[in-house]
């Protein structure tokens, strides 16, 4: 969704107005029949065109910055939805590091891990070890058996 910027529009209208007035002033000065009118008219024409082009440039910069802002704002909204979906998905998966830590912990005690199930709580898993279900907290310095 691209929003228009009022300042950019105003600068664009001012730019065209300055260029039109400068061109009109050029013709008025040239047709004035005074000595040196050509040089004076060209000076007015060139300065008004340059000023108008500068205003157009500023308007374009503001328009581009508005586009960048709109893009980043859409990205932030998408990231919020993505992180929520990702968090829901991650709660249904076992972290590979935690799985490795759990398997190593029980292997040191000569016990075989059959399955590891994640819970709603972070870093807490239900581990089936030789037919028994144990609640384990991983993710810290050491693995803790809670139940």
User: Which letter does DSSP use for residue 140 in this model?
Assistant: S
One digit per residue, the tens of pLDDT, for the chain of length 147 reads 456 789 999 999 999 999 999 999 999 988 887 777 888 889 999 999 999 999 999 999 999 998 888 887 765 555 555 555 555 555 567 888 888 888 888 888 898 888 888 888 888 888 998 888 888 888 777 778 876
Cβ count near 30 (within 10 Å): 16
H-run or E-run covering 113: strand 113-118
pLDDT at 76: 58
H-run or E-run covering 111: none
Domain boundaries, the chain: 6-91, 96-145
**Cα–Cα distance, 57 to 139 (Å, whole number):** 55
pLDDT at 24: 95
C-alpha triplet 105, 108, 109: angle, nearest 5°: 95
Q: Write out the two tokens for 44.
A: 């007015």
Cβ count near 51 (within 10 Å): 15
pLDDT at 78: 53
The string of pLDDT tens digits covering residues 79-120 is 555 555 555 555 567 888 888 888 888 888 898 888 888 888
């Amino acid at each position: 969704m691209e929003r228009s910027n009022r300042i950019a529009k105003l600068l664009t209208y001012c730019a065209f107005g300055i260029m039109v007035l400068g061109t009109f002033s050029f013709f008025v000065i040239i047709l004035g029949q005074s000595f040196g009118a050509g040089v004076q008219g060209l000076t007015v024409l060139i300065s008004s065109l340059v000023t108008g082009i500068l205003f157009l440039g500023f308007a374009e910069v503001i328009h581009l910055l508005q586009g960048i802002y709109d893009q980043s704002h859409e990205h932030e909204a998408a990231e919020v939805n993505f992180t929520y979906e990702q968090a829901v998905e991650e709660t249904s998966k076992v972290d590979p590091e935690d799985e490795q830590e759990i398997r190593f912990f029980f292997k040191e005690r000569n016990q075989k891990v059959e399955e590891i199930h994640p819970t709603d709580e972070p870093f807490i898993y239900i581990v089936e070890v030789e037919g028994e279900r144990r609640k384990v907290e991983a993710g810290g310095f050491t693995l803790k058996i809670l139940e």
